[in-house]
Chain A
């Protein structure tokens, strides 16, 4: 199946991405993935390509790409190796929070270095005891003169080992009700008191550094508080997560699509009972379902991205896209494995990797169960009787 032809503005960008993927990523994926190696060379190429500034505004040295274009880039990358999209995605969520809510001098201080890829990082929200329920975090930041002193533990933090900075969600006030009014976002650069305790071993999404962090009396300049006042952290980061969920949705489209494409090719040359398996109805039904999921997932993702670009509130749209596209990736990877039979289960083919990578999409960036709650709440909110 062909992906739609992009308009001329996107065409050059996507063409460069395709060439980068074919020349510099596809030939090395299997080895890097199998050994869980951090692909420094690929990260350097992402810097050179300009992707660390993809959605940062041009006035700060970024490319100012729309979420719609960004989603197309992520789809393509994920159809080759999902991990590669992770190096700059949480970095861009961090940048989006600074760009939308930061003070002017803060934007000048950080955004150009984020955009050039000189300073790379991500977001640190999840803790050992809480992920979905972010208001229950325990990492504390206590003001001491011109500094905050941060203590606590974060886990499952992407780009934390290789990156130089993180937007860390902390409690600046533990007594306020509701608890989110006591939560703030702090930009914490690597330094004394910021320790990466261990890199986590994962089923999929390998190569990228996902780690556990400990902050022990880590001193951060008070000017690194995102925005003017404490207590806005949860809203600031949740706004960034809309883009994050569009990104997860686009990854889902990419994986669902590549599973379909590889299955389509395989079904036309693998024979059983004297004909290609693609001529058996049982396989045709699978292919039809897979293709329909790819198209639906892509349309939902495009529509969420367009809503984000228009500046509307789009947590429901992003939630729907994330929910549907991630489930499409999970389903298509399993169906691709069934179509490929033993070869799908074998490490010699890519299918088993898609099958290991896809479930992250259903769990990460807000579980799919949570997305349903978000969708339902917004549905009711938007159609009050």
Chain B
């Protein structure tokens, strides 16, 4: 089985995000970028499938500016086999990404598409579902456990109120949640080897997909600063305030 893993380049999760002074977006200049943490979990799971003999090839794909190659390289260093960059300077919305991925799926014909449930920048949580809709494939979202069987994939989904076990018909789409695994860090020899792994380059035009944005961002602002809380000296005072001021009990 071939596994396709779409990955996204985002601001490193440990960096404090700042808004640009003209409020047109988030400051990306001189900011450390990294692979979206949920995408890393997807890459890790694909590698584990390969190590267990359930997958033969892992193909990474990303869409974005040329530097997104670095994100592909980090996944190749973890253990993926090759990469695909769909290069564009356009700000991509989830539907555009899903359409690009559909075109890649039709070329690559993977048995499984593993993606992060969402990216930590836009927090959209849409791409996997939209891709499933466009392809009319089965999907398991928010997955915390994955097992492959003959012609099917069993997953455990983290849903409100508990866990849901679902069997998906292959080929399928799985979006992964935080608890699925802990991604490995690449060894230095593997980082060196990853430099020689192939990355194919396309443009959205090559794939016949229009990616013009449909949404206009008017303004990006920082969330309002929170005022300091009130300290109470006793439980009795707390109850009194909850009753009289907050009127919640």
CB neighbors of B among A13-71 (8 A): 13, 15-16, 19-20, 23, 48-51, 53-54, 58, 63, 65
The yes or no answer to B188 lying at the interface (CB within 8 A) is yes
In the complex, residue of chain B having the shortest beta-carbon distance to the beta carbon of A5: B32
Is A20 a contact partner of B32 (Cβ separation < 8 A)?
A: no
Assembly CA distance A92 to B165 (angstroms): 52
Is B77's CB under 8 angstroms from A12's CB?
yes
A49, B187: Cβ atoms closer than 8 Å: yes
User: For window 37-83 of chain B, which residues contact chain A by CB distance below 8 Å?
Assistant: 67, 70, 73-74, 77
CB-based nearest A residue for B189: A50
Interface residues on B, range: 10 to 19
Interface string of B174-191 (1 = CB under 8 A from A): 000000000001111101
Interchain CA distance A16-B187 in the complex, whole Å: 7
Q: Is B30 located at the chain interface by the 8 A CB criterion? A: yes
**Interface contact A5-B70, CB-CB below 8 Å:** no
CA distance A63 to B32 in the complex (A): 24
Size bracket of the A interface: 10 to 19
Cα A6 to Cα B31 in complex, Å, equals 11
Q: With a CB–CB cut-off of 8 A, which chain A residues contact B74?
A: 12, 15
Distance in Å from the Cβ of A174 to the closest Cβ of chain B? 43
Chain B residues contacting A19 (CB-CB under 8 Å) are 185
Answer yes or no: A341 CB below 8 A from chain B CBs: no
On whether A48 and B187 interact (CB within 8 A), knowing A5-B30, A15-B34, A63-B192, the answer reads yes
A54–B187 CA distance with the chains assembled, in angstroms: 11
Binary A-proximity of B185-202 (CB < 8 A = 1, otherwise 0) = 111110110100000000
Given A12-B74, A15-B34: A50 in contact with B187 (beta carbons within 8 A): yes
B32 touches A49 (CB 8 A): no
Residues on the A chain within 8 Å of B34, using CB: 15
Known interface pairs A5-B30, A5-B32; A11-B188 also in contact (CB < 8 Å): no
- Chain B neighbourhood of A49, CB < 8 A: 187-188
The minimal Cβ–Cβ distance linking B227 to chain A, given in whole angstroms, is 18
* Known contacts A8-B70, A11-B70, A12-B74; is-contact A63 B30 (Cβ 8 Å): no
Q: Name the residue on A nearest B31 (C-beta).
A: A5
* Interface contact B191-A13, CB-CB below 8 Å: yes
Q: How far is the CA of A53 from the CA of B188 in the complex (A)?
A: 9
CA of A13 to CA of B194, assembled, Å: 12
- Would you call B188 and A13 a contact (CB within 8 A)? yes
- For B77, list chain A residues within 8 Å (CB): 12, 16
Residues of A near B189 (CB, < 8 A) are 50, 53, 63
Report the bound CA distance from A308 to B161 in whole Å.
Answer: 60
In the complex the two chains form, what is the Cα distance from A54 to B192 in whole Å? Answer: 11
Q: A23–B188 contact, CB under 8 A? A: no
A19 to B184, CA, bound (A): 9
- Structural contact, B185 and A50, CB atoms closer than 8 A: no
Q: How far is the CA of A306 from the CA of B227 in the complex (A)?
A: 49
Residues of A within 8 A of B194 (CB): 12
Give A51 to B185 CA distance when docked, in angstroms: 14
Q: Mark B128-143, 1 if CB is under 8 A from A, else 0.
A: 0000000000000000
Give Cα A70–Cα B208 distance, bound, in whole angstroms.
Answer: 45
Question: Are A50 and B70 CB-contacts (below 8 A) given A5-B30, A5-B32, A12-B77?
Answer: no
In the complex the two chains form, is A20's CB within 8 Å of B185's CB?
Answer: yes
The complex places the Cα of A275 from the Cα of B187 at a distance, in Å, of: 46
Question: What is the CA–CA distance of A5 and B11 in the complex, to the nearest angstrom?
Answer: 13
Q: Which residues of B contact A23 (CB under 8 A)?
A: 185
Please indicate the chain B residues that have their CB under 8 angstroms from the CB of A58 in the complex: 192
Known: A5-B30, A5-B32, A15-B34. Is A51-B188 also a contact (CB below 8 A)? yes
Q: Specify the chain B residue showing the minimal Cβ separation from A116.
A: B189
Complex Cα–Cα for A65 and B73 (A): 18
Contacts of A15 in B (CB 8 A): 34, 74, 185
B188 touching A54, Cβ below 8 Å = yes
Question: In chain B, what residue has the closest Cβ to A54?
Answer: B188
Query: What residues of B have a CB within 8 angstroms of the CB of A50 in the complex?
Result: 187-189
Residue of B nearest to A12 (CB): B191
Tell me the bound Cα distance from A53 to B191 in angstroms.
14
Q: CB-defined interface of A104-133 with B at 8 Å, one 1/0 digit per residue?
A: 000000000000000000000000000000
CB nearest to B12 among chain A residues: A15
Complex alpha-carbon distance, A58 and B77, angstroms: 17
Question: What CA separation (Å) do A54 and B191 show in the bound complex?
Answer: 12
Expressed in whole angstroms, the minimum distance between the Cβ of A28 and any Cβ of chain B is: 16
A73 and chain B: residue at smallest CB distance: B188
Chain B residues within 8 Å of A12, by CB = 70, 73-74, 77, 186, 191, 194
Chain A residues lying within 8 Å of B73, measured Cβ to Cβ, are: 8, 12
Could you mark each residue 145-186 of chain B with 1 if its beta carbon is under 8 Å from any beta carbon of chain A, else 0? Answer: 000000000000000000000000000000000000000011
Q: Name which residue of chain A comes closest to B32, CB basis.
A: A5
User: Which residues does B use to contact A, with CB under 8 Å?
Assistant: 30-32, 34, 67, 70, 73-74, 77, 185-189, 191-192, 194
27 contacting pairs across A/B (C-beta < 8 A): A5-B30, A5-B31, A8-B73, A11-B70, A12-B74, A12-B186, A12-B191, A13-B188, A13-B191, A15-B74, A15-B185, A16-B77, A16-B185, A16-B186, A16-B187, A16-B188, A19-B185, A48-B187, A49-B187, A50-B187, A50-B189, A51-B188, A53-B189, A54-B188, A58-B192, A63-B192, A65-B188
Q: Beyond A11-B70, A12-B186, list 17 extra A-B contacts (CB 8 Å).
A: A5-B31, A5-B32, A12-B74, A12-B77, A15-B34, A15-B185, A16-B77, A16-B187, A19-B185, A20-B185, A50-B188, A51-B188, A53-B189, A58-B192, A63-B188, A63-B192, A65-B188
Chain A interface residues toward B at CB < 8 A: 5, 8, 11-13, 15-16, 19-20, 23, 48-51, 53-54, 58, 63, 65
